[in-house]
Structures are given as structure tokens and as C-alpha cells.
Amino acid sequence: MSQHRITCNCEGCHFRMVVFDSLNESEINSVCEVKKEQSYKRGDIIIEEGTEIREFIYLKSGLVKIYRKSPSGKEQILNIATPMEFVSLLSVFSETQYKFSICALDDTTVCMIDLETVRKLILSNGAFGLGIMEKMSKNADKIILQNLSLNMKQLRGRIAYILLLFANDIYKSDSFDLPVSRKEIAQLIDMTTENVIRILSEFRKDGLIRINGKNIEIVNKKMIEQISEHG
């Protein structure tokens, strides 16, 4: 893991365009004074469940999983976050400690802002506060709707759904390298690892996908979409 302070240049930064575009120059400067950029390698823990919440965290690049562990140590993946998402919003204003962990699935860079600075900006700038509330709602809606959708599907439908999630929402390509293991897919869609392996193999034999190591290529996307919708 590496950490470094950067020269803050917010004019063309996605970080500003996502929600910080409602700040004036003085407020932007106050953010720049405390903003840190931190880089992680695949497998690095960014946030560990139970640690104190001190910072507001934005995913600048890479891919992360947000997950919880049961008392027995079993993981449940709540979400896979992509760039331009605020990955700390689930707990940041309602708790003093994180109720989840965040792990890098790829080489990842996050921006971190002191939480007290963000609280002051919310109190002084209504438009900024509304922007934060909107982002919090969208994050919660994404997780709730994904879980509801998965719970209504049979096993094949869940696998088809997650393949389309990676192809359409994360990689914007029908050919991609899976950033997660078969076990992690199972944790995300509430299946056994054995069933994930079995159904992926069935999809391959049926000519719906090609598998080459970690690479997945969706060959018959129309059929995968039908399985996701009706499965």
C-alpha cells in the first residue's frame, strides 16, 4: 500500500464534478487542504469493519468490494463499487464505527477527506448537503434493488444477472477478466461455490459464454439477458 499527498487541482477532476461542484473556491480550498490520495493493490484492505470513521472516502479508480463477516467468519458481499462512488456513505453519518469492510479487487486509488470538514460544509452549504443526501440514497437504493432482484431469481438467473452486471455496468464490454473468485461470486449472490462453478460450466457448454482462466466472454448475450430476466 502506498499513500501520498497530491497537489490539489479540482478543475477537471471527477471528484469535483460528482458532488463538489456546488462548492465555491474558498470551500474547495478547504477540501484541498485536507484531501489525501491513497493507493492500494489488489487484496489490500481499505477499511476494516469496526474501525473508527474518520474520513469521507471516494473511489477515484479501480474496483472494491464492500462486505460484512458473520460471527463464524463467513463473508457476505454487499456491493461491488466502481469509480466515482462514495464508498463510505453507508455508515459515515449514522455510526461512529464502520459496519462493513472494503477490499480492493484491483489496483485502486481513493480520495479521503477529513469527516469534520465535510460536516462543516454540509452545515454551511445547503446545495452540497442535498448532493450528499442524493448520493447516499442512490448508494442505498443500488444495494437494496440488487438484493431484491437477486432474491427473486433462480440460480441460473443469478449467474446471468451477475455476468451482465460485470459486462454492462463495470467493464462496458462483453469480454472481461473476472475480478472476483467463484467463491466471491457465491458470496455476492447467495449461492454455494459449487453451484456457481456448475452453472458457469453449463453456460459454457450451452455456448452462452467462453471461459479462459479468469476471462469471461458473453457469446449469446440475448439468451443471457433472457435467463437473467426470467430466471
Q: Is residue 176 part of a domain?
A: yes
Q: Bigger pLDDT: 201 or 134?
A: 201
Cα angle, residue 80 at apex, residues 116 and 104 outer, rounded to 5°? 70
Residue 199 belongs to what domain range? 153-230
Say yes or no: 11 and 118 in one domain: yes
Confidence band, pLDDT 50/70/90 cuts, at residue 74: confident
Q: Bigger pLDDT: 2 or 21?
A: 21
Instruction: Count CB-CB contacts under 10 A for residue 78.
Output: 20
From first CA to last CA, the distance across the chain in angstroms is 41
Domain end, chosen from 100, 122, 142, is at: 142
Looking at residue 45, what is its pLDDT? 96
Q: Is residue 148 part of a domain?
A: no
Say yes or no: 167 and 203 in one domain: yes
For the cut 70, the answer to whether the pLDDT of residue 16 exceeds it is: no
For the cut 60, the answer to whether the pLDDT of residue 10 exceeds it is: no
**Distance separating alpha carbons of residues 146 and 169, to the nearest angstrom:** 13
Report the number of distinct structural domains present in the chain: 2
Say yes or no: 61 and 133 in one domain: yes
Domain end, chosen from 142, 164, 193, is at: 142
Say yes or no: 211 and 167 in one domain: yes
Is residue 36 a contact partner of residue 111, using CB atoms and an 8 Å limit? Answer: yes
Say yes or no: 29 and 110 in one domain: yes
Q: Is residue 147 part of a domain?
A: no
Say yes or no: 39 and 83 in one domain: yes
> CA distances (Å), 110 to each of 5, 33, 58, 66, 228, in order?
12, 16, 6, 14, 32
Tell me what percent of the residues of the chain surpass a pLDDT of 90: 56
Confidence band, pLDDT 50/70/90 cuts, at residue 3: very low
For the cut 60, the answer to whether the pLDDT of residue 127 exceeds it is: yes
**CATH at 202:** 1.10.10.10
**CATH at 128:** 2.60.120.10
Residue type, 229: E
Say yes or no: 158 and 210 in one domain: yes
Looking at residue 72, what is its pLDDT? 85
148-204 pLDDT, tens per residue?
Answer: 889 899 999 999 999 999 999 999 999 999 999 999 999 999 899 999 999 999 999
Looking at residue 18, what is its pLDDT? 65
Say yes or no: 97 and 168 in one domain: no
Q: What is the mean pLDDT of the chain?
A: 89
Say yes or no: 158 and 182 in one domain: yes
17-60 pLDDT, tens per residue?
Answer: 666 788 888 888 888 888 889 999 999 999 999 999 999 898 99
Say yes or no: 216 and 119 in one domain: no
Say yes or no: 108 and 29 in one domain: yes
Per-residue b/e over 37-75, b at no fewer than 16 CB within 10 Å? bbbbeeebebbeeeeebebbbbbbebbbbbbeeeeeeeb
84-99 pLDDT, tens per residue?
Answer: 888 887 777 777 899 9
Residue type, 25: E
Confidence band, pLDDT 50/70/90 cuts, at residue 103: very high
Instruction: Count CB-CB contacts under 10 A for residue 181.
Output: 12
- CB-hemisphere CA count at 13 Å for 18? 18
Q: Bigger pLDDT: 3 or 201?
A: 201
Say yes or no: 35 and 129 in one domain: yes
Domain end, chosen from 142, 168, 192, is at: 142
